[in-house]
Structure formats: structure tokens, C-alpha cells
Structure 1
Amino acid sequence: MFRNYKIYMIVVCMAALAACGKYLDRPSPDQAIGKDQLTDNDIALLLKGAYLSMSGSWPPQSYPMTDIYSDDIISLQGGNPAQFNPQAYEACNASPNDGFGIGRYYIAAYTTIGNANFIIGKIGNPSTPALRQILGEALVIRAHAYNQLAEIFGGVVLITSVETDIDRIRKAKSTESEVLNQVEKDLEAAIPLLADFSTPKAASKQAAQLLLARVSLQRGKHARAKELAEAVIATGKRTLSAATFSNIFRYNSPAQEMIWQMSDGPMPTAYERYGLFSFYSPAPPFLGNGTGLTTMDDALVDSYEANDTRRELVRKARQNATGRDANYLLKFSTDTLQPAAAVYVIYPLMRISEAYLISAEASARQQTVDVTPYNALRTARKASTKNAADFADAAAFLEELEKERRRELVGEGRRWQDMKRFGSALPFLVSKGRDSKRLWFPFTNAEILRNPLLEQNDGY
């Protein structure tokens, strides 16, 4: 009984000390216990809390935001502007009033950062292999949260230690470059601390390397990105699956592609099963009981070859709202088709296929057409392969790689950042009647009120 109470107090402590992200408010002293009172076993429990905080209170709301904002996903679903309103993202007109989509994305990230900061500060210089592993995981968790924030907001408030003084929590945002410098610093520090991959439910050395490869590619550090991506591939800890594509996205799947994931469940009731599956699925009588209002881009669907295994997660069905057939993404549906007691919702963070795509793109960015990693992925998906001579130059190969990333990673939150890197984001915004100010999302009005020093992004 005492141990359960102790665990409860640790969780409460973490919620309080994460206040810099939760509501930018002062934690109550009577809810916290001193960090010197924690044992090494308690730190392991705190790490579990950090993982749980990553998804936020209802992850389906924020997970697909950037994909709807991009050209991959089309949503006709409306809503209250102060809540989750997919049509606003579809119009590339995110609202500062959106406390459910943007707000929960922001709060989840800073809650995670607060939890990670506490662990990192408590461990300091780790004295045992177990503490080295925990420290490495906490660094990756923090890096991932800050990278997510930078991807949609640009510069954000940078806090890397536990702060309980409201005057230190409320401060101006750092630049995007400063935030990403911290992301890279955390990941470089984490890599030598971490063990090799053993489960997709926790950060590993390969997760840290692939996340750093992703950030390096985005920042134009192409040689480093290629080096890291190929290091992940070379370990053989994760491999491309030649079996059905849908199997990759099942909970505890035998497929070897997932490097890092979030999961939510078990989900025994109908309401709790209204996650991304129902959001993306056709309307009844299809099992998902979705609205049928969120679909895939037809041009993207048409780009899959007939034998491409990725087509098995595309379902064509009548959309009642428009009276026409539409293409639905079933990437998140496989577990919901299992018995309710077995249902866990999977949210991919990183898969081995991204390492192959990063390797190919990093070479092309350095003016080399290396089709080997591209063909390896295409072969696993039972799609046709290419020769280097099939592309006029590296620029032509980059055009193909952008399309291949769409086919492979649709619905996994990568497309908007890809569009910015490949130069297709601004023309897309113009087609929506927007300008470059919409490359970034707004901070919510609630966060501006909580932190008067937080400057709103331009154009909102």
C-alpha cells in the first residue's frame, strides 16, 4: 500500500514540476517531493511517466494535424474553432483559438519536456549502466518533443532544467536554430548512452540516430544525415518487411520495421476506440464507424503501382457528404479489427523505411544519384525498381524521392516538414490563398496569456 502511495506521489510530483509545459503556471509546493528523496528505482517509474505524457490527453486530435494541413490528407470535417477543426487545417488557416489540436500538441510536448528535464537533472553523471540508459532515453524524449515544436512553431521557449520560479518559466522564445541546436546536442549526448534496439516502445540507440538523421537532413547537414541513416540500417536490428504492409502497424507485430512508437490502450469500449481509425475510416456500415470526411489525396493514391503492398491500406468507399467514391487510409485500423480486449492504437514515431529514404535523399542533396536504398524499399513493397540512368540528374531523383516519401509515410506526420524541405509548401499555400506566414502554426491565445513574453508568430 505504501509503495502504491509513493508511486502516486511521484506522478503528482512530475505533473507539478512539468508546469512549464502544462499551463506555464507555478506548481503547488505541497504536491511535490524533493528530488533528493527519489531512489534509482523511482527514476525508472518517472521515465514511464515521461513516455505516457508524449501522446497528450487525446492523441488523435494532434497526431494528424500536419498531414491534413499538407496535400496528403483531405478533410471535410468541421468543428468549433476553439476545438479541433480539421477544415481549418485543410484551408491552411490554423486558429490561435484551437486549444484542442494545437493547444494539446503544445501542452503534451512541454509536459514531456518537463518530465525529461526532471530525470536529466536528477541523474546528472550516471554511475550505472541502468542510469545511463534512462538518461539517454530522457534526452531522446526531450529532443523529440523540441523537434516537434520546432517543426510547427519554429522558435519556442527553450527550458532545459526544472524551473519552479514563474519569472524563469515565463520568458521569450528562442529561435528555431537555437532549439534545433539543443535537439542535436541532446541526441549526440544520448547515442553513446543508449543500448541497441530491443523494443519499439522505448527510445534506443537506433531511435536516437534516426531522429538525428531526420533533423540533420532538414538542416542541410547531408553527410551527417546519410552517415546516421546508414548506421541504423547496418545494425540489422530493424529490417524492411517483405510481407503484408498492414502487419507493420499492429500492436506487438512480428514485422521488424517499427523503431519507435507510441501506443494507447487497451481500449475496451466503443467510445475509447474512436481514435485515428474512426477519424480516417469510411462511415458505417464499415466497422470503423467514422464520419467518412477525412480521405487521402487521389493523386497520391494513383501513384501506387498495382502490385505495391502499400495499396492494401487504401480503401475506396462512397463518401456520403459528396456523393462520390473517396480513398480512405486504413493505416491505423488493423488493431481495431481485433477483439476489443486486444486493441491498442499505434502511433508510429520512426520506422526503418525512413532510414532508407534519408540515405537516398542525402546522397541526392550531394548531387549523387544512389538508387540502392530507394530500390531496397521499393523491392520490399513489391514495386518496380529504377536505374540511376533513369533520372536525368540529382534534381530529378529528388522529385521522385519526394513522391516516394508520400507513398511510404502518409498519415505519419512527416509530410508538412517534407513539403517545406522540398520547396513545395509555399506553392501549396498560395493555391490555398495563403502566404509564407502560414508555414508555421500559431501559438494558442491561452499560451500567450499564460506567458506574456511569448511572441505570437507573424500573421496571426
Structure 2
Amino acid sequence: MKYYIIFLLSIGLTSCSKFLELKPDQNMEIPSTLADCELLLNDFTAMNMSYPVMTTLMGEEFYMHTEDWQTIVDMDERMGYIWTDEPVVGSLNWQGPYKTIYVSNQILAIYNKLSQQDKSSEQGKQILGNAHFFRAFAYQQLLELYTLPYDPVTASNELGLPLKVTPDVVPVEGRASLASTYDQVVQDYKQAISLLNPTSIAKSRPTKGSAYAGLSRLYLDMRDYENAYLYADSAWNMQPTLIDYNTLDLYDEMAIPKNNQEIYFTALTGNSGSIGPFYNRINPDLIDLYESNDLRMSIYFQNNYFDPGTYGYKTNYDQSYIGTFIGLTTSEMLLIRSEAAARTGKSAIALSDINLLRKHRFAPEDYQEVQWGNDILVEEILKERRRELVFRGRRWADVKRLNQDTATQRTLTRTIDGQSYQLVPGSPKFAALIPLIVTQLNPTIQQNRR
């Protein structure tokens, strides 16, 4: 049984390696060309929709009643919802991003063996940029789930991730520091910025704007607000557009168009029944943040017919119930630029960005320009983040980041079967437990502390 489990796990992590190393007959060619790299990048499941769903499940946007929680089949999800210390058995939240990293590394290895002519071609540059972007994005998702919040004072001594930058299946020795892991992601994003074009063939492929946006999100998580502002500004200037919610059908269950003009890059989490419309109820304190004439109330939420007086989330930037959309959008960049501006003394820009966003979220007759003073500016911008970025995979990262500051700390609470569970600021549980099979197969990978 043990070897069967190891075999199954190995399929996910090494299938591409076997494909590259084995040649059962002469009609099968080992990938070695730019065309082969394109085929690897076209694997939407591996590259765009296998990211961790647990960051959505463990956040505070929704709650479950006991009877719904008890029907969750996946025990890892059930225990993750209440932040328990039970060992994690399933490996998909870990394995999915590492498969993306593996494919990215394989593409980089193929690229390094190409002729100079192929390397310097436009196609070669775009493939190289794609590989660096996808590796950065995948590590970024793992950082949000499996590591503690970034603190520049302690990052060199905190545990980061096992860093793999080659496609071989030789186990990585231990975990890099948190500082080194963030440095790797920054380096990959900057390399992608230098190579990618302003446009791509599809939203599933990154652009220069995507790389700017990913790096801005990373710097926000690092609380490096100067750089968060600079890269959000660059991303916005590459694609300065918003959806006017007045043009959407408020009664449509999937009102936000797929592949719309706000999206830089499409990415989805894996599937989870735990965050489906028949389980979750939106937290009342989130609902209370919306003004009655805010179009987002009708576009994002619906009344739960099975539980009157509660709301469920109904839409998705990918028009799909399969996973949560965690991709990069212009509205998120506008919010990052606004918050970073407010934190770095550029209050006029901060207000201008918020008003631009809100103008696209209210009917013309209901829109009113806000004039928040500096004493409440950051607080109000953070509320706007919550109103806008619902079920976009951002709340978990935001709580981790904001709990580093006593002014914005928040204790998360959930109640199941009459028992209350809390996640307090400073808790080691903000770094989820690494799947048991990972630490068993490679004992040098240190488990997160409890």
C-alpha cells in the first residue's frame, strides 16, 4: 500500500519527467523544440487551474452550519475550515503548484539546449518569459498557504519553501529561508517582465502586465508599499480599464464576462464542494460593508433560498463553479495602488483610484465621490478591498499581512457543533501543515510548527 501511494504521488510530480526520459518506440520524440514548449504551456489544467483552494476555505468570507460542515467528504478541508492541528493527508494543494513549477523548469531546460537562433527569436523570448512567470506565480500560491507572514526582520530565519529550479526528480534538501523564497519569486517575475509582450494569445498566458501585477501583489504581501505602488502603477498603465457594472445583468448567475477586459491572467484553484453555493453563507460583517445601491451586492451575491436571510456567492471571473478565480486583474491593481499610495503619503492618488473604481460599481445617479481624510483613508481602502475582491483568493493573504500591524489585527472565529474555534494574530497556524506524505517521502522537509 505504501508503495502504491508513493507511485500515485509520483505520477503527478514526475509524469512530465517520464515523458521526457522514456522513449518506448521510435515514433515518440523527446520534447526539444519551441513547439514542444508551447504544448507544455498549453496544459491549462497543470498551468492555470491546480492552485490551492485551502486559502479560500480558511479565510473569513463565509461560514458553514454544523450539518453542512459534517457532510464535507474531504477531511483535510473539514479540518482546515476550523484550523485544527490534524495531519494533512491529501497532497493536491501542495502537488498542484509544484507540478506547475516542474513543467516551468522543464521548459527552461529545453530552452537552454536550443540553438542561439531559437533562443533569440520572438517565440523563444515569450516562452522563456512564460516559464519564469508560471514558476513565480506557483511559488507565490505556495507561500500564501504554507509559510508565515513576511517580516523583513525575521524572514532570513523563517522557513520558506523547498526551492526547485531544475526538472530532475532528485529530492530537494530541506526548505529555503522565507527571504530566499521571496527573492526567487521576485527574480522570476522581474525576468518575466523583461521578456513578455504587452499582449498574449489568451488570458491563460501571461503578459508583461501580468508580471507587473504578480510582483505588485507579492510586494503588498511583503508590506513593501513603495514597490507595491510602483509595480501596480506599471500594471495599471499597461491595461487601464475596468468593467462598468452598469452594463451587466444583475439577475444573471454569472454576470461577469469570461475573459473580460479587467483580467491580466486567468488562474483557478482546484475544485472544492466546501465553497459551493449549497454550503457557504457569506459572513454578515462582509455584507454589512456594502451600501444598498452598490451594484456589487446584486452581481456578487444571491439570497439563499434554502436559508432565508443569508447570502451565497454566485459569480466567478471565469464563469465556472469548478474552482475559485485567483487570477490577476486591473481592479486589484487599482486597489493595491490606492492602498500603497495612502501608506506612502500620496493621499490624492489613493482617493482618485478609489473613486475611479467606485464610479464603475454604482449607477450614475447613485455614485458619490468619497473624500476620506488621512485619519481613516487606509481603513476605508481596506474595506473597499473586501467589497471588491470577494472570493478572489485575497482575503487569507490580507489577514496574514494585516495581522502584522496591531492597528489592523483580526481574530478569525468559527463555530461548529457548539464549539468555537479561533485563529488569533501571531498564530503559527497561518502556515498550513505540509501534507504528511511529503514529509514522509522527504524527511529533510521540516514540518510547520504548532
- Structure-1-length-normalised TM-score: 0.77
Q: Which residue in 1 is equivalent to 2:166? A: 161
Residue deviations 1:249-286, cap 9 Å, x none?
4334xx4111111379xxxxxxxxx96699432xxxxx
Which of the numbers 305, 312, 329 marks the counterpart of 2:291?
A: 305
Q: Does 1:317 align with 2:304?
A: yes
Partners of 1:162 and 1:334 in 2: CA distance: 30
Give the letter for the 2:13 counterpart.
Answer: K
Instruction: Note closer, same or farther for the CA distance 1:84–1:133 as it changes in structure 2 (3 Å cut).
Output: farther
Return the offset for 1:348.
4.1
The alpha-carbon distance between structure 1 residues 278 and 173, as it changes in their structure 2 partners (threshold 3 A), is closer
Unpaired segments of 5 or more residues in structure 2?
Answer: 1-6, 148-159, 415-419
Q: How has the CA–CA distance of structure 1 residues 300 and 54 changed in structure 2, closer, same or farther, with 3 Å as cutoff?
A: same
**Maintained 8 Å contact 2:31/2:110:** no
Preserved CA contact (<8 Å) 2:258 2:317: no
| One-letter amino acid of the structure 2 residue matched with residue 307 of structure 1 | N
2:57 is matched with 68
SS in structure 2 of the partner of residue 315 of structure 1: strand
> CA 1:35/1:419 → structure 2, altered by over 3 Å: closer, same or farther?
farther
Q: 1:368 aligns with which of 335, 343, 346?
A: 346
Task: Please give the alpha-carbon distance, in whole angstroms, between the structure 2 residues aligned to 1:346 and 1:26.
Answer: 29
Question: Counterpart of 2:189?
Answer: 187
In the alignment, which residue of structure 1 is the partner of 2:262? 257
Name the structure 2 match of 1:11. Answer: none
Closer, same or farther: CA 263–70 of 1 in aligned 2, 3 Å:
closer
What's the CA shift for 1:68? 2.9
Instruction: Sort the Cα spacing of 1:127 and 1:258 in 2 relative to 1 into closer, same or farther, 3 A.
Output: same
Give the C-alpha shift of residue 425 in structure 1.
Answer: 5.7
Deviation at 1:79?
Answer: 5.5
| Alpha-carbon spacing, 1:355–1:26, altered in 2? closer, same or farther (3 Å) | closer
Contact 1:229 1:359 survives alignment (8 Å): yes
Aligned to 1:106: 94
Instruction: Identify the residue that residue 312 of structure 2 maps to in structure 1.
Output: 328
Contact 1:143 1:184 in 2 (8 A): yes
Q: Deviations over 1:268-310 (max 9, x none)?
A: xxxxxx96699432xxxxxxxxxx2212111111211122121
Q: Residue 128 of structure 1 is aligned with which of 103, 108, 121?
A: 121
Residue 434 of structure 1 and its aligned partner are, at CA, apart by: 4.1
Q: What amino acid is the match of 1:391?
A: G
2:11 maps to 1:31: no
1:335-350 → structure 2 map (5 Å cutoff): 335=319, 347-350=325-328
Q: Is the 8 A contact 2:61 2:286 kept in 1?
A: yes
Work out which of the residue numbers 176, 199, 207 in structure 1 matches 2:210.
207
How do 1:425-444 residues align onto structure 2 when only pairs under 5 Å count?
Answer: 427-428=411-412, 432-435=421-424, 436-444=427-435
Secondary structure of 2:218 counterpart: helix
**1:187-229 deviation per Cα after TM superposition (whole angstroms, max 9, x unaligned):** 1011121011343221111110000011112213222221211
Assess, with a 3 A threshold, how the Cα gap between structure 1 residues 115 and 411 changes in structure 2: closer, same or farther.
same
Partner AA of 1:293 in structure 2: Y
The farther-off stretch of 351-360 and 237-246 is 237-246
Q: Say whether the 8 Å CA contact 2:268–2:327 is kept in structure 1.
A: no
Asked if structure 1 preserves the Cα contact closer than 8 Å seen for 2:281 and 2:311, the reply is yes
User: What residue in structure 1 maps to residue 360 of structure 2?
Assistant: 380
Question: Where does structure 1 lack aligned partners over 5 or more consecutive residues?
Answer: 1-15, 265-273, 282-291, 337-342
SS in structure 2 at match of 1:433:
strand
User: How far apart, CA to CA, are the structure 1 residues paired with 2:322 and 2:421?
Assistant: 36
CA drift at 1:121: 2.1
Asked if 2 retains the 8 angstrom alpha-carbon contact of 1:112 and 1:142, the reply is yes
**Could you say if the C-alpha distance between residues 275 and 438 of structure 1 is closer, same or farther in structure 2, counting changes exceeding 3 Å?**
closer
Corresponding residue of 1:143? 136
State the distance in 1 between where 2:72 and 2:442 align. Answer: 22
1:39–1:55 CA distance, 2 compared to 1 (3 A):
closer
Which residue, 355, 373, 378 being the options, matches 1:391? 373
Aligned equivalents of 2:98 and 2:125: distance in 1?
23
Aligned-pair CA distance for 1:355:
0.8
Q: Alignment partner of 1:259: what SS?
A: strand
1:152/1:138 CA distance change after superposition, 3 Å: same
Identity %: 24
Alpha-carbon distance, 1:239 to partner:
3.3
Instruction: Number of aligned residue pairs: give it.
Output: 399
Q: Structure 1: how far apart are the matches of 2:16 and 2:335?
A: 42
C-alpha distance 35-409 of structure 1, shift in aligned 2 (>3 A): farther
Q: 1:89 is matched with which residue: 52, 64, 80?
A: 80
Q: Which residue of 1 aligns with 2:40?
A: 46
Using the size of structure 2 for normalisation, the TM-score is 0.78
CA distance in 2, matches of 1:332, 1:277: 15
Query: Could you tell me how far 1:43 is from its partner in structure 2?
Result: 1.4
**Which deviations, in whole Å up to 9, do the C-alpha atoms of 1:338-359 show, x marking residues without a partner?**
xxxxx98773411110110010
- After superposition, the Cα gap between the structure-2 partners of 1:21 and 1:443, relative to the gap in structure 1 and judged at 3 Å, is farther
